[in-house]
Chains A and B, each alone.
Chain A
């Protein structure tokens, strides 16, 4: 298989504070590096999970791919064509997104039907006289009753809204669906059906899915492959089965140890991972995980480890990867 979605050396920085104030004081203009030189590919039909702590840049990565956030350097390409700063309507249509917060991701003044119909009309997905029928089909697809087409978001439950959000993304018949914490705001009891729906749609429609979450269990459930991000960069990129059976990067191991488990009591103060991640404004030298890493040695301070391994989808960025 050839690479379908290709992210190459992607960097996204944000200007923080006042550039003028910094220049006047003679300080360097502060830049926050949200995504730092990340490279990976996603195959057609693959489901890629991206995990990491809050603030690790996973949402920024998603927004850069959808074009919501300008790319500082590097490139994104889809099916050989570039996804640049200026995108045509037809290009935008190919990458769609499901948002985290179902309470703010739907226009409160539009009924579900208007939300869907607008997209179908603007993109001329179906002929005008088929729009109503297509809206009904989309509701079927996300397993919602057609009576909800006339409802506004305020009268829908969280799970229903998220399904409408999925229907909206699917209305444009995209190639790539990015789900940014798509179930994080839902009750646990509603998460599972929504995840099942996403899995099922992916199989039925042959979607390429990027699933972004801080929840390891969720990512494990929906992804074929997982990228673990830490402070804007990928530290491990492996198939889901391998990663969860034998995590290699100390950060991945720490994340898994930190995940709460049923019936397992932890002593107070016993934490798998030391401290808070350092500021993205002031990255440590060498390996960015070094200050918190239990295995850190001198080389970690001097040389930043490459994300490398046996194959493109079998990579770890660590000088001392754990071999299970």
Chain B
């Protein structure tokens, strides 16, 4: 037998090769992300160009022509006040989309900041933030929003404030957990040994690696915010009339479900498809990050 240690192999060459996987991040995204992005993009374009796309003024009342069936002039008919349904649906995107996005983004920003501080600095910061989170979570979510909207007065601003007060908790918990895990990893130790400042370590080394989990959660929260807005409008707590809004349109169309079924159904479908698009993005990102 020959001596196995005497193999004439130059093993040092193994380290001198290029990177194993050099594709860019977006090249590795699954197809469903692109499908989701396409759906959301269409919605965004509709919201931006609603005034150009809408055949009629969404607020123009025409009592003589109320509850009309779809015709060439009113492609989706008219509602009980004779307003053009298609125009109202298009204009509603300008209300529902911003509230859906902001209603998730604002809690995310607040929750990320608070959760990161709690996890990174620990001690009383942690206690203060997490006990506050416990208090918020102890309230039933919808009741808390209703109370806040009543207290602040109906309107988009109040709804956003209410969502933020409620939803930051989840982000804070996710981020805090991630920060606690990451803060004891060697690359954070290395940054400390290198004498980098605490804020720089938090900003450049801890947060960018903690944020992935919230980015996965964000789309489902956008769906939640959109649905919640629709639900509150349906209950009459959302955006006050006559501003077109999908949830309110479902509520307005509900009495006529037997005769004019599309009045309630189409806004419902529009919300569902939007939720689907956003969910596809979230799911795809999750697969990409965990797969």
* Shortest distance from the beta carbon of B2 to any chain A beta carbon, whole Å: 13
Name which of B61-69, B105-113, B161-169, B187-195 contacts chain A.
B187-195
* Shortest distance from the beta carbon of B74 to any chain A beta carbon, whole Å: 52
- Which residue of the partner chain, among A92, A99, A152, contacts B189 with CB atoms under 8 Å? A99
Asked whether A193 lies within 8 Å of B194 as measured between CB atoms, the reply is no
- Which residue of the partner chain, among A145, A155, A172, A189, contacts B194 with CB atoms under 8 Å? A172
Asked whether B187 lies within 8 Å of A147 as measured between CB atoms, the reply is no
CA distance A144 to B16 in the complex (A): 5
- A106 contacts the other chain (Cβ, under 8 Å)? yes
Number of B residues near A (Cβ < 8 Å) is: 28
Asked whether B193 lies within 8 Å of A95 as measured between CB atoms, the reply is yes
Mark each residue of chain A from 71 to 95: 1 if its CB lies under 8 Å from any CB of chain B, else 0: 0000000000000000111111101
Asked whether B195 lies within 8 Å of A99 as measured between CB atoms, the reply is no
- Which residue of the partner chain, among A93, A97, A101, A157, contacts B20 with CB atoms under 8 Å? A157
Question: Which residues on B sit within 8 Å (CB–CB) of A163?
Answer: 15
The main secondary structure of chain B at its interface with chain A is helix
Asked whether B209 lies within 8 Å of A89 as measured between CB atoms, the reply is no
A99-B190, A118-B204 in contact; A148/B195 too (CB < 8 A)? no
Question: Which residues on A sit within 8 Å (CB–CB) of B14?
Answer: 157, 159, 189-190
Asked whether A68 lies within 8 Å of B189 as measured between CB atoms, the reply is yes
Question: Which residues on B sit within 8 Å (CB–CB) of A119?
Answer: 194, 196
* Shortest distance from the beta carbon of B15 to any chain A beta carbon, whole Å: 4
Asked whether A109 lies within 8 Å of B209 as measured between CB atoms, the reply is yes
* Shortest distance from the beta carbon of B221 to any chain A beta carbon, whole Å: 22
Mark each residue of chain B from 1 to 23: 1 if its CB lies under 8 Å from any CB of chain A, else 0: 00001000001101111111110
* Shortest distance from the beta carbon of B199 to any chain A beta carbon, whole Å: 12
- B32 contacts the other chain (Cβ, under 8 Å)? no
Question: Which residues on A sit within 8 Å (CB–CB) of B5?
Answer: 262
Question: Which residues on B sit within 8 Å (CB–CB) of A150?
Answer: 19
- B288 contacts the other chain (Cβ, under 8 Å)? no
CA distance A119 to B192 in the complex (A): 11
Asked whether A92 lies within 8 Å of B11 as measured between CB atoms, the reply is no
Asked whether A107 lies within 8 Å of B205 as measured between CB atoms, the reply is yes
CA distance A90 to B195 in the complex (A): 8
Asked whether B18 lies within 8 Å of A148 as measured between CB atoms, the reply is yes
Question: Which residues on B sit within 8 Å (CB–CB) of A110?
Answer: 204-205, 208
A154-B21, A193-B15 in contact; A67/B187 too (CB < 8 A)? no
CA distance A89 to B196 in the complex (A): 7
Asked whether B194 lies within 8 Å of A107 as measured between CB atoms, the reply is no
Question: Which residues on B sit within 8 Å (CB–CB) of A21?
Answer: none
Asked whether A151 lies within 8 Å of B22 as measured between CB atoms, the reply is yes
Instruction: State which residues 111-139 of A face B: CB under 8 Å.
Output: 118-119, 122-123
Question: Which residues on A sit within 8 Å (CB–CB) of B192?
Answer: 67-68
- A104 contacts the other chain (Cβ, under 8 Å)? yes
* Shortest distance from the beta carbon of B19 to any chain A beta carbon, whole Å: 4
User: Can you list 13 A-B contacts with CB-CB less than 8 angstroms, sorted by A residue number?
Assistant: A68-B193, A93-B194, A99-B186, A99-B189, A104-B186, A105-B185, A105-B187, A119-B196, A123-B194, A154-B21, A157-B20, A165-B190, A262-B5
The 7 closest A-B pairs by CB, nearest first: A92-B195, A151-B19, A155-B19, A105-B186, A193-B12, A89-B195, A99-B186
Q: Which residue numbers of B lie inside 8 Å of A, CB to CB?
A: 5, 11-12, 14-22, 185-187, 189-196, 200, 204-205, 208-209
Given contacts A157-B17, A159-B14, 14 further A-B contacts (CB under 8 A): A87-B195, A91-B195, A100-B186, A110-B204, A144-B15, A147-B18, A148-B19, A151-B22, A160-B15, A163-B15, A168-B190, A172-B195, A190-B11, A190-B14
